[in-house]
Amino acid sequence: MLPNRLPHYVFIRLAIWALQAVAPASAVYCLISGLGYGFLPRPLELLAFAEALFYFCISIPRQRVLDSSRPQAVQRSRRERQALFERCWSNIPDHETFLNVWFRGATVDQIHRDDLKDFLAWGFLYQTEASAADDGELETYVRQVEHTLGVTFPPGRGLCRASQVSTDPLRFRHKPLFFYLLAVGTDDLMTYVTARRMGLRHHRLPLRHFFTVFPFRPHTLLTRHTSPSHRMSYWYRPHVSTTRLPVLFIHGIGVGMRTYTGFFRDFMQADEVGDDGQTGIIAIEIMPISMRITKRMPPRAELLAGILKILQHHGWDRFAIMGHSYGTIIATHILQHLKDTGRVGPMLLVDPVTISIHWGDIPYNFLYRSPRKASEWQLHYFASTDMCVAHSLTRRFDWSENVLWKDDMKGRAVMVALASEDIILDPIAVHDYLNDEELEPRSYRADDLAIEGRHQHRASGLDIVWFDGANHAEMFDSAKGWKPLVTILQKYCRMLN
């Protein structure tokens, strides 16, 4: 993330303005040129035509298709919905703040009864508006909310409407063709070269799916390894050690693996390669959240099936998981799916949006907030309003399937890394929420973990690492930031039994 200083604010605003000006300027120039008044050199003229075609023939149609898609409902009985409501309501630290955030700043006394029913109908019944047929069930939930808050909601509807993440209109911001080709494409190539030099193997998509990801990735054709999943490519380091666990890594929203190459380099260098051999790595590439124009995010079941197929392909029976940001949600899916099998070992969750996704602050900060700071503008243009990212976080996003509950963490080794200046989640609220004696929590400052022996790993229990002065994902910006994570992951890999 950019530092929140004036020079960086000016830079990001100018950069976004310039990128947004490309498409309209290209369209105007094409019109002028068609009238016989073209004045640009031939190469720039061709670029202007390409940008206009890309905007009108690819970007706009694709945005309309994504916006018109509908979320998939999870079928639950009334008893299951009641249990989900009670579980959710009991895992909210501040109920007034919860309603205030979901209703975009409205206070409890401004919310009317039917406003709340509409919100609950969306959250538990996949409806945009409460129906008379479900009024009895919704009334039960409303009374429980009233009992907790000590209020009575007035009848009817008021002026407040809650956010309905999966059905609200999507907000897109066009990015020019040259941004995809030069910025994203070049970054992808450099990441590929760096990862190959580090000793990671790339397992590409099958050839028949080559054109499903844009910018195209011709460099990936240099590898002879093909992913067993037709939806996911990944990076792989063979697992040889018999005394350590391999690592399954899942990245967050951004440009993919580039953010993490420095971390992996240091992790691999710190790996105790001896007679026992090296620690294996599988780093999944999730293209819909990597600034690509590609297929829609697969549903949870399909995503899980693809990851399990990759693990089976390499014979991984048990493994440690490390997830960052959105990757912690997929890590949660894996844990909940394999929880009783004993296959999931220790978990390292960095910027764990999965813990508090139901509180409402994360959807608000990512999708609805009007940006003010430099880092917020960076997040807004390059992530929140990216067409595939926005679709993945709305039409393909079911909050009820993406929460890591406290019960999921009991009896296992879990490390949570929080950044004190995070602009997406509330780190203080998450820290206080996790300070539950049933989770056996221990807290560390990231700087203290550099001291030898400061952290003692254990078979179960929650460890919380606090990164002072860091924003979301900034622990991966420098060796000082990721060194504590390398140390923890190395120790977790030694927890074979």
431 falls within a domain: yes
272 falls within a domain: yes
* pLDDT given at position 447: 86
* pLDDT given at position 73: 87
Domain boundary among 33, 68, 103: 68
Identify the DSSP state of 180: I
175 falls within a domain: no
Q: How far apart are CA 351 and CA 470, in angstroms?
A: 11
Angle between the 6-34 and 42-53 helix axes, to the nearest 10 degrees? 100
Angle between the 135-149 and 113-125 helix axes, to the nearest 10 degrees? 110
> Is there a single domain that holds both residue 416 and residue 302?
yes
> Is there a single domain that holds both residue 291 and residue 354?
yes
Contact by Cβ (8 Å): 364, 104:
yes
* Contacts with 349 (C-beta within 8 Å, 6 or more apart), sequence order: 322, 323, 328, 331, 355, 404, 414, 415, 416, 417
Q: How far apart are CA 57 and CA 52, in angstroms?
A: 8
Q: What is the 3-state secondary structure (H, E, C) of 431-455?
A: HHHHCCHHHCCEEEEHHHHHCCCCC
> Is there a single domain that holds both residue 283 and residue 347?
yes
Residue matched to tokens 């909310």: 145
> Is there a single domain that holds both residue 91 and residue 60?
no
* pLDDT given at position 495: 85
> Is there a single domain that holds both residue 489 and residue 393?
yes
> Is there a single domain that holds both residue 111 and residue 230?
no
Domain boundary among 68, 100, 121: 68
CATH number at residue 213: 3.40.50.1820
* pLDDT given at position 450: 63
* pLDDT given at position 33: 93
Q: How far apart are CA 356 and CA 429, in angstroms?
A: 9
> Is there a single domain that holds both residue 228 and residue 338?
yes
* Cis preceding linkage at 298, omega within 30: no
Residue matched to tokens 């399954």: 248
Domain boundary among 149, 168, 187: 149
Angle between the 300-313 and 326-338 helix axes, to the nearest 10 degrees? 70
Taking the C-alpha atoms of 209, 212, 216 and 217 in order, what is their torsion angle to the nearest 10 degrees? Answer: -40
Greatest Cα pair distance in the chain = 75
Q: What phi and psi, each to the nearest 5 degrees, are found at residue 407?
A: -60, -30
Taking the C-alpha atoms of 263, 269, 270 and 276 in order, what is their torsion angle to the nearest 10 degrees? Answer: 130
Query: For the range 90-93, what are the long-range contacts, defined as Cβ-Cβ under 8 Å and sequence gap of 24 or more?
Result: 91/358, 91/403, 91/405, 91/406, 91/433, 92/358, 92/359, 93/359, 93/429, 93/432, 93/433
Q: Are strands 442-445 and 344-350 parallel, antiparallel or unpaired?
A: unpaired
169 falls within a domain: no
164 falls within a domain: no
Instruction: Identify the segments of the chain with pLDDT beneath 70.
Output: 272-275, 450-456, 497
221 falls within a domain: yes
DSSP-derived secondary structure for 20-61: HHHHHHHHHHHHHHHTT---S-HHHHHHHHHHHHIIIIIIHH
> Is there a single domain that holds both residue 328 and residue 261?
yes
Tokens of residue 441, six digits: 């929590």
* pLDDT given at position 72: 86
Contact by Cβ (8 Å): 395, 166:
yes
* Contacts with 181 (C-beta within 8 Å, 6 or more apart), sequence order: 215
* Contacts with 371 (C-beta within 8 Å, 6 or more apart), sequence order: 377, 379, 380
| pTM score above 0.85 | yes
> Is there a single domain that holds both residue 123 and residue 268?
no
Degrees to nearest 5, angle at CA 332 with 492 and 205: 90
Q: How far apart are CA 390 and CA 378, in angstroms?
A: 15
Tokens of residue 459, six digits: 């078979």
Alpha helix ranges (H) inside 339-493: 353-356, 361-363, 374-379, 387-392, 406-409, 427-434, 479-493
Contact by Cβ (8 Å): 430, 418:
yes
Q: How far apart are CA 440 and CA 434, in angstroms?
A: 9
> Is there a single domain that holds both residue 123 and residue 29?
no
Q: Give the DSSP H or E segment for 369.
A: none
Give Rg (Cα) of the chain. Answer: 24
374 falls within a domain: yes
* Contacts with 211 (C-beta within 8 Å, 6 or more apart), sequence order: none
> Is there a single domain that holds both residue 350 and residue 440?
yes
> Is there a single domain that holds both residue 87 and residue 215?
no
Q: How far apart are CA 413 and CA 441, in angstroms?
A: 10
pLDDT digits 0-9 by tens, 325-335:
999 999 999 99
165 falls within a domain: no
Q: Domain count for the chain, please give it.
A: 3
pLDDT digits 0-9 by tens, 197-251:
999 999 999 999 999 999 999 999 999 999 999 999 999 999 999 999 999 999 9
Range of the domain at 44: 6-68
